[in-house]
Structure formats: structure tokens, C-alpha cells
């Protein structure tokens, strides 16, 4: 059938329109391709020329600056110092990591052990992870690596930060130290931060560094770098800095801490000083101490063995990890418990003949001749054992145990410090559960004077005497502020103890130091504005047999050092308006109350804000104290020698 002229004309118009649209589309496509080709060949020619040489773009993490740690006055306790290092990336090493490392060893100090360790790390991690070959390079060593980069594919010189502790031994047990991430560290973490996968990345191992790791670490940044076919870094394409860690300010007073350690000298001992009103820990000194910088740099076998074989245990933080029978310092607890229960009245008097017989066993007082008739104040002043044996039988162990907990003993205090000991606050249920035995009256008598099963740390003893001074359940605090924001102070509740009972015990321990027959009268303070109250204690280490008592107890100076009694003291000052509480434990210090003079000196330094004047000491002691003060090697805390926080 023939088409009409009209149909033919309509069909021609449609074809012409389609041809036009197709032509326009083809022209646009050709124009777009032409513009893109021009962009690639002219504008981006340099970039593609480099990529044509098999260049690659790598994404690398940038470790953040670790947060700084300061004392309460802004003195730097833990900082960061510049660290030059050489790293290698397996993917960029051209398949010959071993050869590259041996060539690198010709330029910088690198032992076969270093090379072997690096090869192990290279195999253990992803091909794109930078492996630190050597750090703490000198500027000359870093320059040699940079100049010879073309011959060292995959090796990159880097400038980073490393932890540094400017006060060395002073803050080792409190601040702690950092070290490389270990397999055991990673195993303890459910979702490890990618930063932790970087070999030799350092995290907190002990102390505040470990317990505040998440706050101090910060978050990683990233950078894009371009490397050529032989692994040489051509340029940095992009960088996004991470978030630095938070800065922490501790409650510790670095000057007081330094003085406390110097005052302890070469003894195996511990000092804790706390601000009564706030619970701020002003000093937490464990002697002897150690250099944390050695652990950051990688401690030598010789140095580590020296620490481990030292019988004074320098690596242990005795202030919170050490637990000791509190000895007669515990009589404060026994007295308060008996008073609160009503088993002891304020006007009660008890006769001490030098011993007491209970269930066929004789318990001796330290004064074998006896103290005669005493009230509570006299019993505390002269530290009469028989008085407290008697009141303990009246009130029982459950009363004593409950009071010990009220005063902060047998409690694991919540502080960012490693291995805080809970101590031991025994009662009938404890002995039944852990010893499978019934509680005996002899156990109560031993506990009454801080012996037997009772164990306390220097920190707990400081909390005990702080609460006695404050009359409230003040909690210890170590973090003062975070990034300049003050940490909250938990309001303290009044102790559930009659104020008259607290007053009686305070009067008794005032007599310990200031009374004519006080056991620590030799450690008294003469300045009327700084009068100290306190309680001595002797913690028996070895058992004394009945036969030895018959023939005469061997003195501490006649037995080996590690068999001598521990010397303890707790106290606070000023007596009328308490500001600072202190506890001191001198391991195997004997029974000559040498802990009391140390406590006095630490309290005076804290209250005076520096070396106390000789007028604060009894006239008969001033010559000896002057010689001692002059012999002490104290740190220079002038502004020119110690970095401080910026205001």
C-alpha cells in the first residue's frame, strides 16, 4: 500500500529532529572528552607523571601528644620531649627488608638483635604499618638517614615525642611510667585503639599513667603521603591532626614529696600526708624509689636486676601496696569502737599490772612492770596494752571491725594508683570463711593492739587519723583538675561517733607527743601554732617465744635487719585547727619510735611551706636538726629549673 504524501512528510520531519538531537549529543560528548583530556594532559600532567612512576598514596596514623601531668602548684611531673626515630614500612621496602636494615645499620647504631626484633615486628603486623627500627637518634644520625633515603626504600626519618619525667625518682610511684604496648596489654582490651597496633607505641604501665591512660592518650591524627616505586616519600598530601591527651593536675605537692623522700633517706619506708579539709594527698612517698625514665627508654638487664634484688624493694609502692600490722596506732580504733558501743565510759579506769591472763594464756603489756591505774587519756598517752586488752574483751571484735571500716581501714580507696591494697579488717565471718576456724578471744585481744590478723597500708592509716582530726568521713583524692577544670570534692559526712568520744581520743594522742610520759615526747613541736598530736606504733615481725620472754627478749639491734619490728606513727597538726594528717611506716625500724620525728618534720614542712625554722623544735634538738637539714639533698624548684603549667 502506497503512503500518502502527508505521511511521508511527517516521517521526514521526525527523522530530521532525531538526527539533530543525536548530533548535539555526540558533539557534547566529544566536547566533554576534549575538556577532560586537556585537564589530564595539561593541568594535571605533573600529578599523573608521578603516578606513572608507580607512586602510591599511603594513609598513616599520627600519634597524638600525650597529656601532661602537673603537681598542685603547676610543676611538671610528666612531660614530652622531642624524639628522632627511623621507621620502616614493609610494603614500601621493595621486598628486601633485611637488606634495607643492614644498609641502615651502616648509618646508625643498629645491632643484630635490633634487626632481628624489627624483622619479627614486620612479619607480625600489616604491610602498611610503620615499624620503629630505632629511636632516640641524634640529629646527625637522623640527617644521615634522610640524605640516604633513595638507598633505603621504605625507611623514613621521623620526629615524634617521647615521655620524660623531670623529677626522676620523686614521683615514680605516684605518676608511674609508660612503655611499649605488649601482647598482654592488647589481650586485656576488648576493642583496642588502632594506635595500640603501632609497634613501640607507648602506654601507661603503672601509676597515674596507667590508671588514666584513656584520658592521657588522646586520639590519633592521619596523614596522606605519596611514595614512589622505591618507597621514598615524595610529599605529604594531607594532614589531619589528632586530639592531644588531657592534662592532669594532681593534688601532690612536689616540694613536700621531694622533702619526704629526702627525709626518709636510705630507709625502706613510706610517708603519706593528706590535707584534712579536702582529702587531697599532698605527699605519697615510698623509699627507696627508682628512675622511671629507664623504663621509658628500655631498662637494661643490669639495672632491672639491681632493682629486683634490692631487699628494700624500690619498685614497690609501699604507701598503697604495702600492708603492715598497724600496731598501737590501731588503739585509736579500739578506743572509739568501745566508746561508741558503750563498753567503755569516758571516766572508766583500768589497772595494768603488766599482763593479763585470758583462757590460760598470758598477754603482756610492753611495760612489763605495768602502768598502774589509767583512764583512756592516760592509756593512749602511755600506749598501755592491758587497758586495750580489757576493753576489747568488753566490746568484742565485731564492734572493733565496724569502727575500723568507719575510719577507712580495710577499705580499698578509689584512687588512680596501681595495686592498691585493701588491707585486712578481720572479724568472725572472715576467719570462718578464709581460715575455716572459729574466732577466739585471743584473736580479739591481738586485734585490739593492731596485731594478729589486722593489716593496714600507710594510706589507710593516714585516712584514719585524718578522719579523727576532721570528725568526718573525708575521702582521699589524687586528681585535682583535668584540663584546668577542678575535680569535684565528695562532701564528707560527719562520723557516727559522739563528739565527746572524739575529743577524748584526741586528748589522748595529744599526750602521746606533748605529755610528760608520752611515748613520742621527743618528737614534739615547740611552735604553739603547729602543735602535733599523734600515736606511735610498733609492728612485731617475728614471734617471741615464752622461753625468750623468760630469759629476756632480744633487742632489735641484736637481730638481722629483716627480723626487726616495723616503726609506725600517725598524727596531725595543728592540734586545735587540723590542716594536715600524716602516717609513716619505717620497715624494720625497731621500737625506738623513729617514725615520729619523720612525721613531725613532714608536718612542719607542709605547714611552713618549706624548710621549717629551728625555733619549731625543742631547744635541745636544734643543733642536731640543723645538721640534718644541711645534709639533705633537696631538689632545686626555682622557675628556671622546673617547667610549670601555663596559666
Domains of the chain: 57-250 (3.90.1310.10), 254-302+319-631 (3.40.710.10)
8 Å CB contact between 508 and 502: no
pLDDT tens digits for range 162-180:
899 999 999 999 999 998 8
pTM of the model: 0.84
pLDDT at position 73: 94
Return phi, psi of residue 63, to 5°.
Answer: -60, 135
Q: In this model, does residue 646 exceed pLDDT 50? A: no
Q: In this model, does residue 551 exceed pLDDT 80? A: no
d(CA 86, CA 152): 11
d(CA 530, CA 508): 17
Active site includes 134? Answer: no
pLDDT at position 144: 87
Termini Cα distance of the chain: 101
Task: Compute the average pLDDT of residues 579-598.
Answer: 90
pLDDT tens digits for range 604-644:
999 999 999 999 999 999 999 999 999 998 998 876 456 65
In the block, residue with C-alpha cell 595543728: 574
* CA atoms within 13 Å, Cβ hemisphere of 287: 22
8 Å CB contact between 325 and 540: yes
Confidence class for position 210, pLDDT limits 50, 70, 90: very high
Calculate the CA 359 to chain-centre distance.
Answer: 47
pLDDT at position 232: 58
pLDDT at position 647: 35
Confidence class for position 133, pLDDT limits 50, 70, 90: confident
Angle at 526 between CA 523 and CA 530, to 5 degrees: 90
pLDDT tens digits for range 306-342:
999 999 999 999 999 999 999 999 999 999 999 999 9
8 Å CB contact between 370 and 423: no
Mutual orientation of helices 458-470 and 331-341 as an angle, nearest 10°?
Answer: 40
Range list of H helices, 353-440:
376-382, 385-395, 397-406, 428-434
d(CA 535, CA 368): 20
Side-by-side strand order, sheet with 566-573: 281-287, 269-275, 580-586, 566-573, 533-539
| Eight-class DSSP state of 641 | T
Q: In this model, does residue 245 exceed pLDDT 60? A: yes
From residue 458, how far is each of 3, 46, 455, 568 by CA, in Å? 114, 70, 10, 9
Beta pairing, strands 221-227 & 233-240: antiparallel
Q: Of the candidates 521, 514, 473, 477, which has an alpha carbon nearest to the alpha carbon of residue 494?
A: 473
Q: Which residue has the higher pLDDT, 292 or 107?
A: 292
Beta pairing, strands 485-486 & 533-539: unpaired
Q: Which residue has the higher pLDDT, 404 or 157?
A: 404
Confidence class for position 54, pLDDT limits 50, 70, 90: very low
Task: Compute the average pLDDT of residues 56-68.
Answer: 79
d(CA 300, CA 159): 24
Lowest-confidence range among 277-286, 357-366, 379-388? Answer: 357-366
Q: In this model, does residue 208 exceed pLDDT 50? A: yes
Q: Which residue has the higher pLDDT, 182 or 250?
A: 250
d(CA 191, CA 193): 7
Angle at 468 between CA 278 and CA 539, to 5 degrees: 115
> Three-state DSSP class for 83?
strand
Percent above pLDDT 70 for the chain: 88
d(CA 215, CA 230): 39
> Three-state DSSP class for 59?
strand
Q: Which of 134, 162, 286, 328 is catalytic?
A: 328
- Tell me what the pLDDT averaged over the chain comes to: 87
d(CA 221, CA 62): 5
Q: In this model, does residue 153 exceed pLDDT 70? A: yes
Task: Compute the average pLDDT of residues 579-587.
Answer: 97
Task: Compute the average pLDDT of residues 526-532.
Answer: 95
Strand residues in 507-620 grouped as ranges (E): 533-539, 566-573, 580-586
Angle at 206 between CA 203 and CA 211, to 5 degrees: 75
Q: In this model, does residue 41 exceed pLDDT 70? A: no
In terms of C-beta distances under 8 Å and separation of at least 24 residues, what long-range contacts does 292-301 make, across chains too? 292/165, 292/168, 292/171, 292/172, 292/175, 292/176, 292/177, 293/164, 293/165, 293/168, 293/177, 295/177, 295/178, 295/179, 295/205, 296/162, 296/163, 296/164, 296/165, 296/177, 296/178, 296/179, 296/202, 297/136
pLDDT tens digits for range 4-13:
666 666 666 6
pLDDT at position 1: 53
pLDDT tens digits for range 488-507:
999 999 999 999 999 999 99
d(CA 463, CA 468): 9
pLDDT at position 5: 64
Q: In this model, does residue 51 exceed pLDDT 60? A: no
d(CA 394, CA 348): 13
Amino acid at each position: 500500500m502506497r503512503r500518502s504524501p502527508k505521511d511521508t512528510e511527517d516521517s521526514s520531519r521526525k527523522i530530521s529532529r532525531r538526527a539533530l538531537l543525536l548530533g548535539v549529543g555526540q558533539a557534547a560528548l566529544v566536547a566533554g572528552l576534549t575538556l577532560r583530556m586537556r585537564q589530564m594532559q595539561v593541568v594535571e600532567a605533573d600529578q599523573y607523571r608521578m603516578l606513572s612512576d608507580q607512586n602510591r598514596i599511603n594513609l598513616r596514623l599520627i600519634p597524638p601528644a600525650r597529656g601532661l601531668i602537673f603537681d598542685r602548684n603547676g610543676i611538671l611531673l610528666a612531660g614530652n620531649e622531642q624524639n628522632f626515630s627511623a621507621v620502616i614500612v614493609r610494603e614500601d621496602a621493595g621486598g628486601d627488608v633485611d637488606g634495607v636494615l643492614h644498609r641502615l645499620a651502616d648509618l646508625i647504631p643498629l645491632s643484630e638483635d635490633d634487626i632481628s626484633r624489627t624483622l619479627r615486628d614486620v612479619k607480625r603486623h600489616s604491610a602498611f604499618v610503620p615499624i620503629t627500627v630505632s629511636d632516640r637518634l641524634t640529629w646527625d644520625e637522623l640527617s644521615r638517614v634522610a640524605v640516604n633515603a633513595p638507598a633505603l626504600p621504605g625507611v623514613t626519618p621521623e620526629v615524634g615525642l617521647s615521655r620524660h619525667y623531670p623529677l626522676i625518682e620523686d614521683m615514680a610511684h605516684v605518676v608511674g611510667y609508660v612503655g611499649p604496648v605488649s601482647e598482654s596489654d592488647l589481650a586485656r582490651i576488648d576493642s583496642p585503639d588502632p594506635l595500640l597496633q603501632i609497634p613501640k607505641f607507648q602506654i601507661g604501665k603503672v601509676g597515674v599513667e596507667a590508671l588514666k591512660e584513656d584520658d592521657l592518650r588522646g586520639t590519633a591524627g592521619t596523614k596522606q603521603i605519596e611514595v614512589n616505586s622505591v618507597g621514598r616519600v615524595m610529599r605529604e598530601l594531607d594532614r589531619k591532626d589528632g586530639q592531644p591527651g588531657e592534662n592532669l593536675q594532681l593534688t601532690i605537692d612536689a616540694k613536700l614529696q621531694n622533702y619526704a623522700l629526702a627525709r626518709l633517706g636510705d630507709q625502706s619506708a613510706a610517708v603519706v600526708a593528706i590535707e584534712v579539709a579536702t582529702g587531697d594527698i599532698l605527699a605519697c612517698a615510698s623509699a627507696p624509689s627508682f628512675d622511671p625514665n629507664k623504663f621509658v627508654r628500655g631498662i637494661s638487664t643490669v639495672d632491672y636486676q639491681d632493682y629486683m634484688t634490692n631487699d628494700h624493694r624500690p619498685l614497690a609502692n609501699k604507701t598503697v601496696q604495702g600492708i603492715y600490722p598497724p600496731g598501737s596506732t590501731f588503739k585509736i580504733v579500739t578506743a572509739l569502737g568501745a566508746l561508741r558501743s558503750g563498753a567503755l565510759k569516758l571516766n572508766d579506769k583500768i589497772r595494768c599490772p603488766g599482763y593479763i591472763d585470758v583462757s590460760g594464756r598470758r598477754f603482756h603489756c610492753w611495760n612489763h612492770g605495768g602502768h598502774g591505774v589509767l583512764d583512756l587519756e592516760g592509756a593512749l598517752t602511755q600506749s598501755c596494752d592491758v587497758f586495750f586488752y580489757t576493753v576489747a574483751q568488753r566490746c568484742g571484735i565485731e564492734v572493733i571491725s565496724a569502727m575500723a571500716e568507719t575510719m577507712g581501714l580495710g577499705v580499698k580507696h578509689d584512687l588512680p594508683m596501681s595495686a592498691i591494697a585493701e588491707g585486712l579488717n578481720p572479724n568472725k565471718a572472715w576467719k570462718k570463711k578464709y581460715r575455716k576456724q572459729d574466732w577466739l578471744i585471743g584473736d580479739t585481744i591481738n586485734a585490739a593492739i593492731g596485731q594478729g590478723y589486722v593489716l593496714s597500708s600507710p594510706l589507710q592509716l593516714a585516712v584514719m587519723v585524718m578522719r579523727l582530726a576532721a570528725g568526718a568521713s573525708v575521702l582521699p583524692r589524687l586528681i585535682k583538675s583535668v584540663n584546668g577544670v577542678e575535680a569535684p570534692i565528695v562532701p564528707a559526712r560527719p562520723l557516727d561517733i559522739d563528739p565527746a568520744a572524739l575529743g577524748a581520743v584526741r586528748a589522748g594522742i595529744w599526750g602521746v607527743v606533748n605529755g610528760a610520759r608520752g611515748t613520742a615526747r621527743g618528737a614534739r613541736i615547740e611552735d604553739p601554732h603547729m602543735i602535733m598530736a599523734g600515736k606511735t606504733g610498733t609492728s612485731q615481725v617475728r614471734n617471741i617465744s615464752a622461753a625468750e620472754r623468760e630469759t629476756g627478749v632480744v633487742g632489735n639491734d641484736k637481730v638481722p635487719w629483716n627480723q626487726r619490728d616495723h616503726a609506725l606513727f600517725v598524727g596531725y597538726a595543728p592540734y586545735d585547727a587540723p590542716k594536715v594528717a600524716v602516717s609513716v611506716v619505717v620497715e624494720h625500724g625497731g621500737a625506738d619510735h623513729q617514725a615520729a620525728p619523720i612525721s613531725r618534720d613532714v608536718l612542719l614542712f607542709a605547714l611552713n611551706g618549706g624548710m621549717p625554722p629551728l625555733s619549731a623544735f625543742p631547744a635541745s634538738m636544734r643543733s642536731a636538726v640543723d645538721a640534718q637539714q644541711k645534709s639533705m639533698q633537696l631538689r632545686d624548684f626555682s622557675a628556671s629549673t622546673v617547667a610549670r603549667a601555663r596559666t
